[in-house]
Amino acid sequence: MKSEAPKAKKPRKRRWTRKLIALIFLAVAAYFWANSDLAPTRVHEYAAHVTNFLNENPVYRSVVAYVANLLSGSRTSGAPAVQAHAPQAPSVTLNVIGRVNLATERDYIGRVEAVQTVQLKPQIAGQIAEVHFKEGSIVKSGQVLFSIDSRQYQATVDLRKADLAGAEANYNRALKYRDRLKAADKRSVSASDLDAAESDVLQGKAGVDLAKASLRLAQIDLDHTKVTAPIAGRIGAAFFTKGNYVTPAGAQPLAVIVQVDPIRVVFALSDRDYLDSYAQFKSSEDVYNAKILLSNGAEYPFTGKRDFEENAMDERTGTMTIRLGFKNEGSLIPGAMVRVRTRPANAHAAIVIPQEAILADAQGDYVYVVDAENVTRQRRVNLGAEEGATREVVSGLSEGERVVVYGLQSIRPEMKVTPKR
């Protein structure tokens, strides 16, 4: 019997032809999808790679163009295959660079603070005889607020006056006796008598000085029976009333006075904001044109003036405490919380760009600039402070240039783009 001949294997060329046809079909499908409005950004990137590959391989490009024309119905019978469409330029959104005033408003949380606060305490011990003010009222400097029973202190003053009169009498007698000794015949007056007379004069003078000092102390104690306001301001509650016995050693004050006009507003400035304005803080001029918003949302009518800054950063929060002085018409109450709205006193015009336009690599920050022919150029930039959604550009860009804001993922340097309108 004749052995059957082995079956011939199918040539491998046919299998590679099928794979090539499938690849071409997928490439054409991707090409049409990429040029439609439904394709996402990453398909655009894939289509761009496919288009570059076809441009570098004319044979594949001709085959794809032929199949594309068949699928689109653009090929007529007997007409030669048309060439593939040119790659579409990516669409990008541009921002025209301009100069803006960086003296932007910023809000901070502030607290109202009295410039002066005084706790009234008695300087002498005694019983309160009278309270001379209405609690919560405005008092003037020097106004009598409390009276302490003065009878004992008045008696002490009278006693010290009597002591002074006696000391002056002794002093006058010693003076007259010394003068008589000096006027007498020197042979009748011994040197020891004259020395004793001189000593009596000096002791008399010292006695007068001592009596005068004691009288002044007694008078001071008598004056302290009238407790007066050392500053003008609003007085609070009276912690002691008529009949209470008070002493200088007591921990509780008689009352508290806070100055209300002028008044301060205190807020914390971040270390970065402080350093950005350090040149202005070094000067004696106002750094901010500051206004405040009250807790009910009303804007306070007066502008704050620079008072002073702390001499050290708060190590817990990394902030600098700033104090502004305000004229107070009564609506600013010490301890109240307000919103401080600041605007730099000196205008600062600078070039700013949206933060979305900024890219970075190992060499630093850069942006894509589009020239008059709509070709992208990579441009290195030096950036400054952040201003909300924008960033200041210190150098690298000029006013009027166009930078790419959206569509950065699909562009490269020296690429033709289509700006969106």
* Structure confidence by residue, pLDDT tens digits, 3-41: 444 444 445 545 555 556 656 666 656 555 555 544 444
Q: State mean pLDDT over 236-263.
A: 94
* pLDDT at residue 21, rounded to an integer: 62
Residues 145, 139: Cα–Cα separation, whole Å:
9
Question: For residues 69, 75, 79 and 84, what is the CA-based torsion angle, rounded to 10 degrees?
Answer: -30
Residue 172 CB coordination number (10 Å): 13
User: Given a cut of 60, is residue 86 above it in pLDDT?
Assistant: no
Give the confidence band of 272 by pLDDT, cuts at 50, 70, 90: confident
Residues 314, 268: Cα–Cα separation, whole Å:
9
Residues 113, 115: Cα–Cα separation, whole Å:
6
CA atoms within 13 A on the CB side of 294: 12
* pLDDT at residue 31, rounded to an integer: 55
What percentage of residues in the chain have a pLDDT greater than 90?
47
- The radius of gyration of the chain's CA atoms, rounded to the nearest angstrom, is 48
Give buried/exposed letters for 375-394 (b at 16+ CB in 10 A, else e): ebeebebebbeeeeebbbbe
* pLDDT at residue 121, rounded to an integer: 95
Contact indicator for 338, 293 with CB cutoff of 8 Å: yes
* pLDDT at residue 33, rounded to an integer: 53
User: Given a cut of 60, is residue 78 above it in pLDDT?
Assistant: no
Q: Which residues 6+ apart lie within 8 Å of 58 measured at CB?
A: none
Residue 167, both tokens:
């000391």
Residues 129, 132: Cα–Cα separation, whole Å:
10
CA angle 351, 403, 95 (to 5 degrees): 75
In the block, tokens 């704050």 appear at 304
* pLDDT at residue 265, rounded to an integer: 95
Q: State mean pLDDT over 174-181.
A: 88
Q: Dihedral sign for Cα 370, 375, 380, 386, please.
A: positive
Q: State mean pLDDT over 314-323.
A: 91
Give the model confidence (pLDDT) of 192-233 as tens digits.
Answer: 888 888 899 999 999 999 999 999 999 999 999 999 999 999
β-pairing, 91-96 with 418-419? parallel
Helices (H) and strands (E) in the chain, counts: 7, 24
Phi, psi of 57 (to 5 degrees): -125, 95
Give the confidence band of 90 by pLDDT, cuts at 50, 70, 90: confident
Residues 128, 143: Cα–Cα separation, whole Å:
16
| Nearest CA-CA partner of 94 in 400, 350, 413 | 400
Give the model confidence (pLDDT) of 329-378 as tens digits.
Answer: 888 999 999 999 888 777 667 888 999 999 999 999 999 999 999 999 99
Residues 405, 393: Cα–Cα separation, whole Å:
15
Residue 199, SS3? helix
* pLDDT at residue 180, rounded to an integer: 86
Q: What is the pTM of this model?
A: 0.57
* pLDDT at residue 82, rounded to an integer: 44
Residues 283, 268: Cα–Cα separation, whole Å:
19
Give the model confidence (pLDDT) of 127-168 as tens digits.
Answer: 999 999 999 999 999 999 999 999 999 999 999 999 999 999
User: Given a cut of 90, is residue 244 above it in pLDDT?
Assistant: yes
Residues 331, 297: Cα–Cα separation, whole Å:
13
Residue 132, both tokens:
């001379």
Phi, psi of 27 (to 5 degrees): -65, -45
- The H or E element containing residue 268 is strand 263-270
User: Given a cut of 80, is residue 383 above it in pLDDT?
Assistant: yes
Residues 366, 420: Cα–Cα separation, whole Å:
21
